[in-house]
Structure 1
Amino acid sequence: MKPARGMTPGDADRLVAALVTGRGPSPDEQVTVWFAELAVGEREITVDQTNRSVVVGDRAIVKWLLHTDAAGHPAPDRLQALLSAGFTAMPRPWGLLHQVDPTSGALKLLAIVTEYLPGTQDGWEWAVADVRAHVRGAESGALTAPIAIGVLTAQMHVALSCTGITDATEAQAQTWYAAAGHDLAEAIALVDGDEGARLRPLESRIKESLHPISECVGTPLIDVHGDLHVGQILRTNAPYAYYVTDFDGNPLQTAVERMQRQPAARDVAGMLASLDHVGRVVIHRTPDVDEAKVVSWIAMAQEIFLDNYREELQRANAEHLLDERLLGPFQVQQECREFVYSVKHLPHWRYVPDAALPALLDRLEAPA
């Protein structure tokens, strides 16, 4: 049997060379080139479980897509839109490799090539370390990183909105509301043990918090990142610079769903939830930590992120992109998804939504 594309040693080297020439490595393949330079020498990154990622010459990363869909992939259009708008807070895209169907001429995405940023860490490393240092009284980026991420997220949304803005229809609102209800029902059905015993009494409160999703007819829709959380934010060594990565969308959705426009609030809510999750990880993994200080940081970080996101939208005259009504409901839905994900893929993770969801509901229900 012929090995899957990208599994043979030298495939990544050959793809980078093909970008330089502008010709596909094989007759039935074609490349899209945004940037290219010669680089050789492969080194696999083993932490990526969804795809196979290979560093080439410490200059580029080739991400081979192990699970493709005939319906398409969101990354090519997202990357092109960001490049066209002059957005630079991402690893520089080098190019794409598509396979061409000999009969229909249809393209299937095989690989994405981007700049390799040596020495960077993703947010599950740098943010956790920052918060640990912060609550111990040491200097860190715990309260400055949310500023940069808020600005970056707003600039990304403004850039993505350049491809067009549409309004949510009644059918779309009801589809999203039904999906949120399904996520809740699945979480209730799957989560067992002490966490399940704490989750089930929250069901009616969760349902009530999700209801605004059904009323979002007319909210602006744009192309979004689709899976935005701190793990998608790379940070360089000091002086810190931040870059957003991975425009594949939510891996648990179908290709059609991932390519659809969404409210900008979907990404914003995802980042708000993940800032909370950073705090929960610190509490869980740090002996003798002052839990109250971490909880206080969560609230401050979320406020700083959101304030700077709003301010950057205002600077771009794009305040209309954010529907504030959806932030709470989408965060609640995200916590339900975290429960489901933990049961299916990462059992030890369930402590995160177990702590985050009740606190979120209390905040949403508190008097204004």
Structure 2
Amino acid sequence: MSEAATHPVTEPVARPELLASLDPLLREWLPRQRWFAGKGRPVTGFSLVTANELLPTSGPLGLLHLLVRAHQPATPAQGATARQGDCYQLLIGVREALPPRLAPALIGHVEEGPLAGRTVYEALHDPRPADVLLEALRSRARIGELRFERDRRRPIRGGLTPRLVTSEQSNSSLVYGDTFILKLLRRIVPGVNPDLELPRMLAREGCPRVPAPAAWMTADIGDARSPAGGESYVLGVLQPFVRGATDGWELALHGLAKGEDFGSEARALGRATAEVHTALARALPTTTLGHVQMRLLVEGMTERLAAAAQAVPALRPYAPGLRTAFEALADLAAEGQTWTAQRVHGDLHLGQCLRSPTGEWSLIDFEGEPSKPLAERRMPQPPLRDVAGMLRSFDYAARSNPRSTAPSPAPSESVSDSWADTCRAAYCAGYAEAAGRDPRTDPVLLRAYETDKAVYEVVYEARHRPDWLPVPLAAVGRLAASP
């Protein structure tokens, strides 16, 4: 019998006392996590959305699943929308003491409350709690507000050895026996998450470029029959693990280090991107963007540029030239040109692409930009938004130093520019082969999206990685001078 079935939930967790006892530990631990979105602002308190025992905390090994809101002072840009606080998914293991192998996962020692005298830790580092999650997905378990679902057409074998993916990312992932990978969302919002929605749609379309979800976990909060209604949260998605695959970023840097051409890979990746876009256009409605819609799009880009120039002085000399990219797009729309919008990936770059040992490319992580509202991430957009993101990613790879483990610009700009230009051209050519239309035939929209992305990169690097600021600034100089 599985461990999850051996220890069913028999009584509710003592929620108020539990949160009070964990509060001082979470205030120290949570802001240090890579996926915590509120860095730079103090945590003023927590509120508990749900608490469920997946393994009883009274036993030698307990497992708590918590949805917790972290309350922080709002920034001027957030205003009243941030008062509710970001909601995070936590999986907390409970033991008398941690074995040495779990020392890096320590959250702290509980001083009072229902867990007094116990040690709590990040449970995903521990194979036994990871087994519980897989078994719950296999058995389609119902635990409190938690719902574990699966595609019954896709068998899930038990007993797969779990391991935590340790690379830093905005979520957490567990690999089970090189067969499945479970992506657990950390900062969660209610609603239909595109990271589950779009891969399921693409699976129905028979698109082989995206791993089809085998199972997923959700939380239903509140009573949907009440006047206030209920809310559903997507918490995690289990997909096939592409064994032996290399992500596009690592592959590109490896090729750069060895002086190898990446053009053929970029071309194949362009074809894969176009195939995904074509399948999404078949599966979901498309719309036409006219003058009014494009004016709103341009206004958003222009406002982001103004805010970025205010925040990063190095951007200010380029602002007038960059603004022309948006003005040219507004002029085209005013003349009556329209564009087709559809569902897209939303945050496409080399790190979101996997190449299998057979040479096939797959696209992953359809969550979109996590910092943007879910409704915005699910809006139809021109496919060139994804294309522009990939073109910027080639530029980033070219200007990275593949021989250094620390972020630093590549030493030779002429070599990097030539490599990036080759990849950009090959990617667009591959896209045209599958889509029947070359992205370069719409240069005004493509330049506007590339400019908007580069402006975002300037702000990000200035805040988080100042040594990288020359990378987007080089692109800014090119885009500002572009006709």
TM over 0.5: yes
* CA shift digits 1:193-251 (9 cap, x unpaired): xxx1xx221111100112244344631111000000111112234x4332211100012
Q: Does 1:260 align with 2:379?
A: yes
Q: Residues 186-265 of structure 1: matches in 2 within 5 Å?
A: 186-192=307-313, 196=314, 199-214=315-330, 215-216=332-333, 218-237=338-357, 239-265=358-384
Shift of 1:46: 2.3
The alpha-carbon distance between structure 1 residues 279 and 66, as it changes in their structure 2 partners (threshold 3 A), is same
CA distance in 2, matches of 1:18, 1:78: 23
Which of residues 302, 305, 313 is equivalent to 2:427? 305
Give the corresponding residue for 2:150: 33
CA distance in 2, matches of 1:351, 1:94: 42
Q: Residues 157-196 of structure 1: matches in 2 within 5 Å?
A: 157-162=277-282, 163-192=284-313, 196=314
CA distance in 2, matches of 1:227, 1:101: 28
TM-score normalised by structure 1 residue count: 0.86
CA distance in 2, matches of 1:111, 1:132: 36
2:348–2:390 CA contact under 8 A, matched in 1: yes
1:14–1:25 CA contact under 8 A, matched in 2: no
CA distance in 2, matches of 1:112, 1:220: 30
What amino acid is the match of 1:7? L
SS of 1:83's equivalent in the other structure is: helix
Give the corresponding residue for 2:459: 340
For structure 1, the 5+ residue unaligned runs are 135-139
1:121–1:234 CA contact under 8 A, matched in 2: yes
Shift of 1:344: 3.2
SS of 1:144's equivalent in the other structure is: helix
2:322–2:479 CA contact under 8 A, matched in 1: no
The alpha-carbon distance between structure 1 residues 125 and 38, as it changes in their structure 2 partners (threshold 3 A), is same
For structure 2, the 5+ residue unaligned runs are 1-18, 20-50, 52-63, 67-88, 93-122, 225-229
2:247–2:350 CA contact under 8 A, matched in 1: yes
CA distance in 2, matches of 1:319, 1:31: 42
Q: Residues 42-61 of structure 1: matches in 2 within 5 Å?
A: 42-61=162-181
The alpha-carbon distance between structure 1 residues 68 and 220, as it changes in their structure 2 partners (threshold 3 A), is same
Aligned residues: 348
1:224–1:262 CA contact under 8 A, matched in 2: yes
What amino acid is the match of 1:13? D
What amino acid is the match of 1:130? G
Structure of greater relative contact order (alpha carbons < 8 Å, 6+ residues apart): 1
The alpha-carbon distance between structure 1 residues 313 and 73, as it changes in their structure 2 partners (threshold 3 A), is same
SS of 1:327's equivalent in the other structure is: helix
What amino acid is the match of 1:245? I
* CA shift digits 1:31-84 (9 cap, x unpaired): 442334124333211224311212223321111111111244222221122111
TM-score normalised by structure 2 residue count: 0.66
**Rg larger in 1 or in 2?**
2
2:401–2:410 CA contact under 8 A, matched in 1: no
What amino acid is the match of 1:356? A
Aligned CA RMSD, in angstroms, stands at 2.6
What amino acid is the match of 1:68? I
Give the corresponding residue for 1:361: 480
The alpha-carbon distance between structure 1 residues 141 and 116, as it changes in their structure 2 partners (threshold 3 A), is farther
Shift of 1:91: 3.2
Taking every aligned residue pair, what percent have the same amino acid on both sides?
A: 27
The alpha-carbon distance between structure 1 residues 200 and 278, as it changes in their structure 2 partners (threshold 3 A), is same
1:16–1:36 CA contact under 8 A, matched in 2: no
Give the corresponding residue for 2:227: none
Give the corresponding residue for 1:292: 414
CA distance in 1, matches of 2:144, 2:402: 54
Q: Residues 129-148 of structure 1: matches in 2 within 5 Å?
A: 129-134=254-259, 140=260, 142-148=262-268
What amino acid is the match of 2:293? Q
